């Protein structure tokens, strides 16, 4: 995929209504979990993203078929022929580790390469591996390859996570769904995407309770059958679009979002002076002429402020009155957008996990480079605000998680073109 970029004429007010896409971080684990069934699962509201395509490539490599009809995705996992994922596919998408639990439950023997690190720093998987070992999986790590086998039987276990890891919680739930006996996950991640995965698995016949809470109980069943499921709206895409509305002084109506998934984000926009009201099954978002900077943003596991919304929110803080302190507690290097925001004229200083933003009156157009998914989103938000013509390179990062972002923004009146 060649280098692509957005050309943005910033400084325009947006208006209209937007339907938020399905959640990337819900679609990915559900696609992996579909391997537990034999037959056709139907996923509604599945977003068109390069990370989803990467997952479909893995499923097809294993022997499944997948086809789209509109925004419905039909995955047939009846016949599978391979039980390993080559490193070329593993490195296309770091979160492909989410296939491990599903494949070990289906095949009893799996080879896959260690997922690469990514722009956010090393992405350890120790919690995934230690949990699966407790469930009876023998895992050899050699030369960057994971060689996993179930010698006896995949069985339930009591697993206490030292970190409420989203991916580890998902891998354990998936592996436990058809394991022998009961699995209890303590200190489980509570993200809405965990609950959505449990809803899909329970629709397939699993017995999972407590998803969304810190203790999840999975009673293994012998057999799961395919189901249809509507994927929840993407709360991080919603937060990104709200950031775009805030920095352009716009009033936007959001359809198809679940306000309760934004419980730690909406108060921050209200602190900035935005008015947000529920209306039907959506939200009306109104921005003030001048934003007030939020005082302190600490990223935390759900239901705290999500790390994925930190970058877009930093673009908001960059043009708000006052000083905002960010503390990025989830990843060690998630400030790659800071140097690029400073090219727009933002005043930001980084000290380790802390970033201090001193809001400026306005941003000036610039030519910037994205280096990760949410950083790219933050740069597009800043370009929409900066007067003049800006170029944002590295859109291939953006396309991992945002479906047709330039079309969505254009439909709201933005002047944005993809080169
Ligand atoms: C998921 O990643 C999301 N990805 C990330 O979104 C999100 O930023 C992250 O959760 C936190 O909310 C998907 O859902 C596909 P973690 P994941 O395991 O599961 C450490 C985006 O922008 N850790 O909850 O990889 C880890 O290093 C992406 O859409 C271990 O130490 O995140 C991190 O510091 C980026 N050992 C912390 O836990 C492990 O075995 C949280 O990671 C696993 C994780």
Of 2 and 342, more confident: 342
Average pLDDT over residues 114-128: 81
- Contact, 134 vs 94, CB < 8 A? no
Which atom of ligand 1 approaches the CA of 307 most closely? 8
3-state secondary structure at position 260: helix
What does the block give as tokens for 315? 């673009």
Average pLDDT over residues 119-130: 87
What does the block give as tokens for 212? 């969304």
* Distance from C-alpha of 334 to C-alpha of 297, rounded to nearest angstrom: 14
Counting ligand 1 atoms within 8 A of each CB, the residue from 23, 25, 51 with the most, and so the one to mutate, is: 25
Average pLDDT over residues 68-85: 93
pLDDT tens profile 78-110 = 999 999 998 888 888 878 999 999 999 999 899
- Contact, 381 vs 252, CB < 8 A? no
Whether residue 2 is predicted with pLDDT greater than 60 in this model: the reply is no
- Spatial neighbors of 384 by CB under 8 A, at least 6 apart, are 8, 10, 12, 14, 244, 247, 248, 409, 414, 416
Question: Of 118, 148, 272, 342, which one is the catalytic site residue?
Answer: 118
Residue 327: predicted pLDDT: 98
Residue 67: predicted pLDDT: 96
Residue 287: predicted pLDDT: 98
What does the block give as tokens for 216? 């999840």
pLDDT tens profile 252-301 = 999 989 999 999 999 999 999 999 998 877 899 999 999 999 999 999 99
CA 190 to chain centre: 14
Average pLDDT over residues 318-334: 95
DSSP for 188-207 reads ----HHHHHHHHHHHHTT-E
* Full-model pTM: 0.97
Q: Cis bond leading into 303, ω under 30°?
A: yes
User: Would the CB of 28 count as within 6 Å of ligand 1?
Assistant: yes
User: Would the CB of 139 count as within 6 Å of ligand 1?
Assistant: no
Average pLDDT over residues 389-409: 97
- Contact, 6 vs 407, CB < 8 A? no
3-state secondary structure at position 170: helix
* Distance from C-alpha of 185 to C-alpha of 214, rounded to nearest angstrom: 8
pLDDT tens profile 215-244 = 999 999 999 999 999 999 999 999 999 999
Using pLDDT thresholds of 50, 70 and 90, give the confidence band for residue 121. confident
Angle, CA of 207, 172 and 261, to the nearest 5° = 75
What are the beta bridge partners of residue 389? 9
DSSP for 6-32 reads EEEEESPPPEEEEEPPBPHHHHHHHHH
Whether residue 128 is predicted with pLDDT greater than 60 in this model: the reply is yes
Which atom of ligand 1 approaches the CA of 118 most closely? 35
* Distance from C-alpha of 380 to C-alpha of 337, rounded to nearest angstrom: 11
Tell me how far the alpha carbon of residue 94 lies from the centroid of ligand 1, in angstroms. 10
- Spatial neighbors of 291 by CB under 8 A, at least 6 apart, are 246, 247, 272, 273, 274, 316, 319, 320, 321, 359
> Nearest residue CA, atom 21 of ligand 1?
308
User: Would the CB of 126 count as within 6 Å of ligand 1?
Assistant: yes
What are the beta bridge partners of residue 43? 73, 229
User: Would the CB of 125 count as within 6 Å of ligand 1?
Assistant: yes
User: Would the CB of 124 count as within 6 Å of ligand 1?
Assistant: yes
What does the block give as tokens for 144? 């960057």
Active site residue 140: no
User: Would the CB of 163 count as within 6 Å of ligand 1?
Assistant: yes
- Spatial neighbors of 407 by CB under 8 A, at least 6 apart, are none
Smallest Cα–Cα separation from 389: which of 9, 5, 4?
9
Query: Of 66-70, 73-77, 342-346, which gets the smallest average pLDDT?
Result: 66-70
Contacts 24+ apart (CB under 8 A), 161-166: 161/127, 161/131, 161/185, 161/186, 161/187, 161/188, 161/189, 162/127, 162/187, 163/127, 163/187, 164/188, 164/189, 164/190, 164/214, 164/301, 165/127, 165/128, 165/189, 166/25, 166/191, 166/193, 166/194
Element (DSSP H or E) covering residue 90: helix 87-90
What proportion of the chain, given as a percentage, has pLDDT over 70?
99
In this structure, how many other beta carbons lie within 10 angstroms of the beta carbon of residue 345?
17
């Amino acid at each position: 995929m060649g280098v692509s970029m957005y050309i943005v004429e910033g400084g325009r007010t947006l208006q209209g209504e937007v339907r938020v896409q399905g959640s990337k971080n819900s679609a990915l684990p559900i696609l992996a979990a579909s391997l537990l069934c034999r037959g056709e699962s139907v996923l509604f509201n599945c977003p068109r993203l390069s990370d989803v395509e990467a997952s479909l490539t893995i499923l097809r490599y294993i022997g499944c078929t997948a086809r789209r009809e509109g925004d419905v995705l039909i995955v047939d996992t009846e016949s599978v022929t391979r039980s390993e994922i080559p490193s070329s596919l593993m490195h296309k998408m770091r979160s492909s580790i989410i296939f491990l639990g599903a494949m070990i439950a289906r095949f009893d023997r799996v080879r896959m390469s260690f997922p690469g690190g990514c722009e956010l720093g090393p992405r350890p998987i120790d919690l995934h591996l230690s949990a699966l070992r407790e469930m009876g999986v023998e895992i050899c790590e050699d030369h960057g390859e994971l060689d996993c086998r179930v010698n006896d039987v995949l069985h339930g276990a009591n697993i206490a996570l030292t970190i409420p890891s989203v991916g580890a919680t998902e891998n354990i739930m998936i592996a436990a769904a058809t394991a022998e006996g009961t699995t209890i996950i303590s200190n489980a991640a509570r993200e809405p995407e965990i609950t959505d995965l449990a809803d899909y698995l329970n629709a397939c016949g699993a017995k999972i309770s407590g998803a969304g809470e810190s203790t999840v109980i999975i009673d293994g069943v012998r057999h799961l059958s395919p189901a249809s499921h509507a994927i929840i709206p993407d709360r991080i895409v919603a937060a990104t679009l709200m950031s775009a509305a805030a920095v352009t002084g716009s009033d936007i109506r959001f359809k198809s979002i679940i306000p309760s998934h934004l419980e730690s984000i909406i108060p921050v926009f209200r602190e900035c002076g935005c008015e947000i009201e529920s209306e039907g099954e959506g939200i009306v978002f109104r921005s003030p002429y001048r934003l007030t900077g939020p005082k302190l943003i600490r990223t935390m596991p759900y239901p705290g402020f999500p790390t994925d919304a930190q970058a877009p929110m930093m673009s908001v803080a960059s043009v708000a009155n006052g000083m905002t302190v960010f503390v990025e507690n989830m990843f060690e290097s998630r400030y790659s957008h800071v140097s690029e925001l400073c090219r727009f004229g933002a005043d930001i200083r980084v000290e380790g996990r802390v970033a201090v933003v001193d809001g400026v009156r306005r941003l000036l157009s610039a030519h910037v480079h994205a280096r990760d998914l949410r950083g790219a989103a933050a740069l597009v938000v800043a370009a929409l605000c900066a007067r003049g013509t800006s170029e944002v390179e590295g859109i291939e990062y953006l396309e991992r998680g945002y479906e047709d972002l330039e079309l969505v923004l254009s439909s709201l009146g933005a002047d944005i073109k993809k080169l």
